[in-house]
Amino acid sequence: MKNLEQHLSEYAKYHRDQRNIYTHYIGIPLIVFSVFCLLSKPAFLVNAPIFGDMVVSPALFVWAIGNAFYIKLDIKLGAVMTLITGAMVYFAQPIAQNGIGVWLAVSLGIFIGGWVLQFIGHHFEGKKPAFVDDIMGLAIGPLFVLAELSFELGLRGALKEEIERRSGPVK
């Protein structure tokens, strides 16, 4: 299995234009949130001995599997991603409680809006999205956004240097 630097460096090769990265800051979270909205129906109320009543849906399983992958790659980024995506799952539930028409319209509207931003960014970049060549790009995209935001905050300098060494600087 690839390590964090390998995954992020491969993804970064398709994302060296700062304008593209900025569109991803909004587009990718919108897409992830919309997927959680879509996967939050059907939902079942389950009484778990430790947690009490909790809503269980396919979104919860995708959240758990995805974050286990992120934590395995990097405990710090994975922990932050777990909190962010946990909030997304939480806020997706009320959308899924609407009727089918409203639930689909809102979820698909967010999904399409997110992808429009992605393709605008890739127009600036002049390159196709990473997932076209490697489907793992769909899973790495959210972690890439979090890593890039951490770089802008002055965090994870060694990781940023390694990605730029492998993929080139951001222009």
Q: Residue 156: which of 20, 8, 19 has the closest Cα? A: 8
Q: What pLDDT was estimated at residue 67?
A: 96
Helix H or strand E encompassing 46: strand 44-48
**Residue 130 clears pLDDT 80, i.e. is over it:** no
| Distance (Å, whole) CA 114 – CA 37 | 13
**Whether the Cβ atoms of residue 6 and residue 163 lie closer than 8 Å to each other:** no
Per-residue pLDDT at 40: 95
How crowded is residue 171: how many other Cβ atoms within 10 Å of its Cβ? Answer: 9
Reduce the DSSP state of residue 86 to 3 states and report it: helix
Q: Which of 56-60, 69-73, 92-96, 130-134 has the lowest mean pLDDT?
A: 130-134
pLDDT reading at 79 higher than 90: yes
Q: Do 3 and 73 touch, CB atoms closer than 8 A?
A: yes
Q: What is the mean pLDDT of residues 76-104?
A: 96
Place 14 in a pLDDT band, splitting at 50, 70 and 90. Answer: confident
Q: What is the pLDDT of residues 26-45, one digit of tens each?
A: 999 999 999 999 999 987 87
* Region 122-130 average pLDDT: 81
Query: Are residues 15 and 125 in contact, defined by beta-carbon separation less than 8 angstroms?
Result: yes
Q: How far apart are CA 50 and CA 145, in angstroms?
A: 33
In whole numbers, what is the pLDDT of the chain averaged over residues?
A: 91
Question: What mean pLDDT do residues 3-13 have?
Answer: 90
Does this model's pTM top 0.85? My answer is yes
Q: How far, in Å, CA of 15 to CA of 108, rounded? A: 25
pLDDT confidence tier of residue 62, bands split at 50, 70 and 90: very high
Of the listed ranges 4-8, 138-142, 166-170, the one predicted with least confidence: 166-170
C-alpha 56: how far from chain center: 21
Please give the helix or strand (H or E) that residue 169 lies within, else none. none
